[in-house]
Structure 1
């Protein structure tokens, strides 16, 4: 009997294993598996960084700010609230009467790295996902943070160019 089906199954199992941080984060690298390395790299790049825990998941998270906005860095791919493998930079905007799928789509049509989506409660969620498996060197991480900061500045311009409609009284 041929076991041709076994090859794809073994490849899939190997791919799943490859997506978990199985080695320690090198001392000079920024890794989600070592949250303090993310804090240190943010601070070295001139940003504030307060390490806390998510109330909903217990996973680490970092509160920071850039371009006039407060934002959060969430840790994902965590095993038992540690050994995380990725980060998500995120910011939310409450509905001001102008939060629509069309607005999010307009943003997404011209932005490559940062995505905008509309939640069920009409909150606009803006996020940037970054894998840290194997680690990012300080220069790469500083570039990630710079992209995020620049895009937050672009958000400000975008909202000015696309204001919420005036509510009739």
Structure 2
């Protein structure tokens, strides 16, 4: 009985040795724009474009809300290290700086402010340096969906 368990234990130990390599291969960093866009498409539309300095940018829509994923720390439009989720709205006139301060005080995710035209904006910086798992990035998009849902419920 003991001898039959040895091959099973050897196979199990061998699979554990391969696990870190398999995990490392599945990490996504900010240089993998296509993989990030594919995850974004799981939440709505998403297209890849370039911003005004030539860095990648994803233009997306979740539950009718338009947003961008902006890429930073890029070298010649590639090899980016971080991303920023961003959404903005035209102010209907009754959203105040106090509202934005209250959001920032009460919420963990998403920094809210009024831009130079007093329009509300919400941003969330995400560090992808070194890579994150697909599951982690998918969860990040789900949190962004929740942030947008809560922000629009509170102010629109």
Normalised by the shorter chain, which TM-score bucket? Answer: 0.7 to 0.9
Query: Which residue in the other structure is 1:117 paired with?
Result: 113
Larger radius of gyration: 2
How does the TM-score come out when normalised to structure 2? 0.78
- CA offset digits 1:115-146 (Å, max 9, x no partner): 10111221211011101011111110111000
Aligned length: 133
Contact persistence 1:51–1:62 (CA under 8 A): yes
Between the aligned partners of 1:102 and 1:46, the Cα distance in structure 2 is: 31
* 1:42 aligned onto 2:43: no
TM-score by length of 1: 0.73
1:163 corresponds in structure 2 to none
The equivalent of 1:101 in structure 2 is 97
Superimposed CA distance per residue, residues 94-133 of structure 1 (whole angstroms, 9 cap, x where no aligned partner): 2221232111101111111111011122121101110101
Out of 53, 62, 67, the position equivalent to 2:58 is: 62
Question: Is 1:29 aligned to residue 16 of structure 2?
Answer: no
Runs of 4+ in 1 over 6 A off after TM superposition: none
CA contact (8 A) 2:30 2:82 kept: yes
Bigger share in helix: 2
- Deviations 1:34-89 (CA, angstroms, capped at 9, x unpaired): 2112112223x3432201001x2211000111132011110011122211101111
Distance 1:60 1:52 in 2: 6
- Tell me whether 131-140 or 92-101 shows the greater mean CA deviation: 92-101
CA distance in 2, matches of 1:123, 1:77: 27
The 8 Å contact of residues 72 and 90 in structure 1, kept in 2 or not, is answered as: yes
Partner residue, 1:92: 88
Q: Does 1:73 align with 2:69?
A: yes
Aligned residue among 128, 136, 150 for 2:132: 136
Asked if the contact 1:29/1:37 (under 8 Å) is kept, the reply is no
Structure 2 unmatched runs, 5+: 1-23
